[in-house]
Amino acid sequence: MPVTDEAIEKIKAMIVSGELAPGARLPREADLAERLGLSRNSLREAVKALSLIRVLDVRQGDGTYVTSLDPDLLLDAMSFVVDFHRDDTVLEFFEVRRILEPAATAMAALTMTDEQIAGLRAVLAELDPEPDVEALVANDLEFHRRVAAGSGNTVLCSLIDGLSGPTTRARIWRGLTQEGAVARTIEQHGAICDAIAARQPELARSWATIHVAGVEEWLRSAL
């Protein structure tokens, strides 16, 4: 195993075992290197790598700390990786969205507060009756972000948020080229919101599936 990878694994083991808890400060570099049987250089490289994926927080002049390890923080690194997707993989991102978003929408129908539902309706009301495609997609992203957050599951919300980037261009493309796409999107958003407000999880799940699958099927035929 390369020495940097070995160093990463040893720090990871300290965190997983609970020896280093969220928010804990790491021992001084020299002390930790000696304790783990590592060179200071390999330890330094490991710390850099773990800070990039938000496991460690390096504070100049203060020390290195374990982050909160919250799912949204750790999964933020996934968004960075996802940004390197190729256009020929966009359908695979839609397939994953079709699996995750209906589940999140069903959960939201059970867990969203009345205040959150009112906020969801407010997002829909912000949209002009005949919006341009850019405005529609921006509204679409905010709508889905709120539904995912309303599921009450931070891991699920972070995963869905990380998948939104690669599918944005396809949603714009569809809105520009498919007749009735804008009106269909607005209608389906309203149906999803109504099902959530009515506390009908299976109906909410069905509408979310129809909504994501509609874009996916259009893209399959367009490619």
* pLDDT tens sequence across 123-136: 999 998 888 888 88
Percent helix, strand and coil across the chain, each rounded to 5? 75, 5, 20
Estimate the crossing angle of helix 3-16 against helix 40-52, to 10 degrees.
Answer: 60
**What does each C-alpha distance from 141 to 7, 47, 52, 137, 172 come to in angstroms?**
39, 34, 26, 6, 11
Distance between the two ends of the chain, CA-based, in angstroms? Answer: 43
Res 85: pLDDT: 62
Res 52: pLDDT: 87
Where the chain has pLDDT below 50, the residues are none
Res 197: pLDDT: 98
Res 86: pLDDT: 66
CB-based burial label for 16 (10 Å; 0-12, 13-18, 19+): exposed
pTM (whole model) above 0.95? no
Res 37: pLDDT: 92
Res 16: pLDDT: 92
Q: How many CA atoms lie within 13 A of 118 on its CB side?
A: 3
CA angle 145, 157, 161 (to 5 degrees): 55
The 3-state DSSP class for residue 15 equals helix
Nearest to 66 by CA among 53, 76, 77: 53
Nearest to 200 by CA among 75, 132, 106, 126: 106
Q: Which residues contact 213 (CB under 8 A, 6 or more apart)?
A: 98
CA distance 212 to 95: 9
